[in-house]
Every structure is written in structure tokens, then in C-alpha cells.
Structure 1
Amino acid sequence: MRLLIKQRVFSWTDSYDIYDENGNVRYFVKAELIALGHQLHVYDANQNEIGMIKQKLLTFLPAFEIEIGGRTVGKIQKEFSFFKPRYEIDCNGWRVEGDFLGWDYDVYSGCSSIIHISKELLHFGDTYVIDIANPEDELMGMMLVIAIDAANCSQGD
């Protein structure tokens, strides 16, 4: 299955629209203005809040917690690296590896790639395509992409 994440360009805060492969709105994400960090609320197409991505403050590199249904289900922290962007994640036993420019990522469970994330160029705002092997990983995979984008934005990437 495939999702397309588009950042809203003309918005006061970070906002994203997420579409399925048929162009239907699946989710949208809206940032809450807080001092010194990101707090992103995730809503389904019916405008029900289903999750949140919260930046952890007082960390050397950007770190975020992913909540679904009011429960923390994952954590992600950008790691120091010279060439490839690297992230330490604590979520479902997954790991993330990115390419040299930070435009493509793969999420692995064990040795298998379960999610492929690619950034589309030449768009206003960030635009990502997510290919997900298992539909059950859709929500968590989408929230992971938003957290990676927020980590990159927090560091000015």
C-alpha cells in the first residue's frame, strides 16, 4: 500500500495532508504552537484525533515520542553522524536507515524492509511517498515519517 504525505506550505504551523494511493484524504497533521519544540496532532479523515508526536526537550539532538490513543508507542532520536542521517528508534523492534542526502529511508523489521520512504523533489513543501508492505503498519509508519521530518526541521536540515 502507498501513502503520499504533503506538507501544507501556506500555514502558520507545520501541517500535513496524507492521501492514499487513490488520492483520498486518510489523515491530516496539525502542529500546536509550544515554546521550544514541536507537538504534532494526527487526525483521521473524520477529524478524530488518533495520535500525537511530541518533541522531548533538553536533548542534544532532536528526540520525539509517538503516542497513539494517549499511550506512548515509540520513540525516535536523531543520532550524530557525518554522512548518512541516522535515527535511533524504539518502536516495534524496527530500525531506520537513510541514504546519503536524507531523501530516502527504509524501515526494517529484522532483515526485512517493511516500509520505504522517499522524498519527492521539486514540490512546494516537503512531499513524501511511503510504500508499506503490511497495512497494519500504516499509522505507525506514517507517524514515523512525520517524526523524521520534524527531527530534520528541528536541526535545520
Structure 2
Amino acid sequence: MNQTETSLPNRYVIEDKHFSSDDKFVIADADGNVHYKVDSTLFVLGDKLTLYDAVGNELIRIRQEKLHLHPTYNIYSIHRDAEETQLASVKRTGPPTQRKLEISTSNGDYVMENRGGPFSREFLLKKDDSIVALVTKDTAPLKDTFWVEIANGTEEYHAFIMALIIVLSCAQRLPGNPLATPHQGNIKV
């Protein structure tokens, strides 16, 4: 999972377009250069998403497991021959107001948790108590925006981190979740 990616930024903007007919998520740097796109499979039970690089190469598949008390997702790396290798299993734990993801990988365990109170829009992604990324969420009526800052010096696979943010977005769309409703204002980076 610690793959070398050259010339990638440390800051990303992820737009979750709720009513879009094309890409469900677009992931760009702060200058607007698109690095990844995510499409969803329509008319299926549970989330089925695919993350592509900017030129359309399939990198990661995200699949929601059904029949779990808490939302559970699997993240797969895709090889050129379309063979899947599981990268992680992600589970939202605790009550909806806790908004915590536990991530199990063969490369160690991660946790993404809310930073602050139940209505805070900041999340920390940590591995072995070291901060990997800071995520800030802003909502609008037609889209959610996530601002992601990856810690300097980290060698984490950026596409994998983006997949974790996508899972965070999907896991928050449950009924009664306070983050599922829009708020007024903008978060500035």
C-alpha cells in the first residue's frame, strides 16, 4: 500500500455531487487539477464505487457489505489485469454521533475519527497514533466538499486515502446523521 506517487499534492478537494449524472466524486488539488474521479454503480443495494486516476485507469473499488449492524466496506486495489486485491476493511463503529471509522489493513490499522464535538466537521485519519491526514467537511445543497490535507513526509498511497474519505462520506449518509443536512457558510483552507 505504500506506493510511490510522484508529483502529487498534499492538499486535495473532494466534491461529492449528490445529483450528478456523471462522476459522483471529483478529486482535485487546490489549483483545480483533477487527480481522481469516482463513479458509482446505479441501481444496486449498498454502495459500489470505483476510483479512477485522471486519465481513466481503474485504481480502487469500494464495496459495501450488506446485512451488518454498522456500515462495513471493503476496499480493493485493481491491477492491470482487473484482478482485485483487498487493501482494507472499513467499519463505522459506535453511535451515529460518534462518526468513527475503524480501518483494518495488512499494512496496519487506521482510525478516522471526529475531531471535536458531535457536530464538528473535522476528522483525523491516524495510523499508529500518527496523523496521516486532516479532513474538513463543508456541505451545500447540491454537493458536499471535503478538504483533505495529507501530512508532510507520509508515504501513504494517496488513492487509498481518497478511498477512505469516500467511505467516510458514504457512511455518513445514514438517516438521522447530523452531517447529512446542509449548513450555511464555507470552510476556507
Q: TM-score, normalised on structure 1?
A: 0.89
The structural deviation recorded for 1:14 is 7.3
8 Å CA contact 1:13–1:31 kept in 2: the answer is no
**Aligned mate of 2:91, from 48, 52, 77:** 77
- After TM superposition, give the deviation of residue 122 of structure 1 in Å: 4.1
1:79-134: CA deviation from partner (whole Å, max 9, x where unpaired): 12264212222133212211322521101122221111110244631100110012
Percent identity, aligned pairs only?
Answer: 26
CA contact (8 A) 1:84 1:102 kept: no
Query: What is the aligned partner in structure 2 of residue 97 from structure 1?
Result: 113
Matched residue, 2:169? 149
> Structure 2 residue aligned with 1:66, among 59, 66, 75?
75
Which of residues 46, 53, 67 is equivalent to 1:44? 53
Once residues 165 and 41 of structure 2 are traced to their aligned partners in structure 1, the CA distance between those partners, rounded to angstroms, is: 18
Contact preservation (8 Å) 1:116, 1:130: yes
Task: Determine the structure 2 residue equivalent to 1:140.
Answer: 160
Q: Which amino acid aligns with 1:125?
A: K
Q: Name which of 126, 134, 144 aligns with 2:144.
A: 126
Instruction: Using structure 2 for the length normalisation, give the TM-score.
Output: 0.75
Q: Could you say which residue in structure 2 is the equivalent of 1:22?
A: 31
Tell me, yes or no, if the aligned pair for 2:100 and 2:111 is still in contact at 8 Å: no
Distance of aligned partners of 1:34 and 1:61 in 2 relative to their CA distance in 1, 3 Å threshold: farther
Structure 1 unpaired stretches of 5+: none
Measure, in 1, the Cα distance between the counterparts of 2:109 and 2:131.
12
Q: What residue in structure 1 maps to residue 125 of structure 2? A: 107
SS in 1 for 2:147: strand
SS at match of 2:143: coil
1:54 paired with 2:50, answer no
**Greater shift in the superposed pair: 48-57 or 100-109:** 100-109
2 CA distance for matches of 1:82 and 1:9? 21
Structure-2 change in CA distance of 1:12 and 1:102 (3 Å): farther
Letter in 2 for 1:48: N
